[in-house]
Structure 1
């Protein structure tokens, strides 16, 4: 089975959440409240996504993270690469940062490139905006959901 890690799945969740209000600076606790993920997990993902150039980090008292580009300009392959590294099914494909001990004598050498390229292309073809649910917050905006969650937690 070819499977992306939970962190990559969660990374797409975090990115779609932040993209709901692209001009807003959000914090890890805000995103954790609205996604159901833990604060440490969200914080780690946000740092990795910022290092990958997908989020912008804002320092200071009103700091946090915001979108680096619109969701329609972010490819799912970019999120996968930011969280997992190069997209490579096996260690012998172009772009892999792994090495294979039998690569020089392997009859499949280079044969996986076509399959790896097809998967990479499929991930390139899907934009973050296409992964976003049409109406994720029944109570209005993400900001409203955060306020409601904070109010419920205060009771």
Structure 2
């Protein structure tokens, strides 16, 4: 079963909230935690991961916070998942590195993985923040 972790799910929720705000608005962990109802330590952890993955930019200072690194329509679901979880691969043999076994199944899994990755690349944060109505 292909599953997204709770941390990745929280990342999508936080990013969608940020995408709906004014374009250049900065967000801090405390306000995001209160607005969305996710515990502050978890919000802080997710913001750090998304910053390391270049989905968010961190702004230092007393009026600092976080902002999207690009517009919501330029950030794909695949980029978000990869920032938190690493490369999208539904099985070991569908990853770019492949697996240890040299079997005839691998090309089929790679085709399935390519289809999933294509769908994730075709879905933007902007789409998701709008509830998929685009």
Alignment TM-score, normalising by the size of structure 2: 0.89
Asked whether the 8 Å contact 1:56–1:67 carries over to 2, the reply is yes
Q: Larger Rg: 1 or 2? A: 1
Instruction: Indicate if the aligned counterparts of 2:87 and 2:95 stay in contact, CA closer than 8 A.
Output: no
Structure 1: tracts of 5 or more residues without a match? 135-155
**Deviating 4+ runs (over 2 angstroms):** none
The C-alpha deviation readout for 1:31-81, integer Å capped at 9, x for no partner, is 111111011111111111111111100112122111111111111111010
How many corresponding residue pairs? 130
1:10 is matched with 10
1:110 deviation in Å?
A: 2.6
CA contact (8 A) 1:87 1:95 kept: no
C-alpha displacement of 1:95: 2.3
Q: Give runs of aligned pairs for residues 14-93 of structure 1, distance below 5 A.
A: 14-21=14-21, 22-93=23-94
SS in 2 for 1:82: helix
Q: CA deviation at 1:7?
A: 1.2
Question: Root-mean-square deviation (CA), in Å?
Answer: 1.6
Is the CA contact (8 Å cut-off) linking 2:88 and 2:95 kept in structure 1? no
SS in 2 for 1:66: strand
| SS of residue paired to 1:126 | coil
Scaled by the length of structure 1, what TM-score is found?
0.78
Q: Any residues of structure 2 matched to 1:97-136 within 5 Å, and which?
A: 100-101=99-100, 103-104=101-102, 106-133=103-130
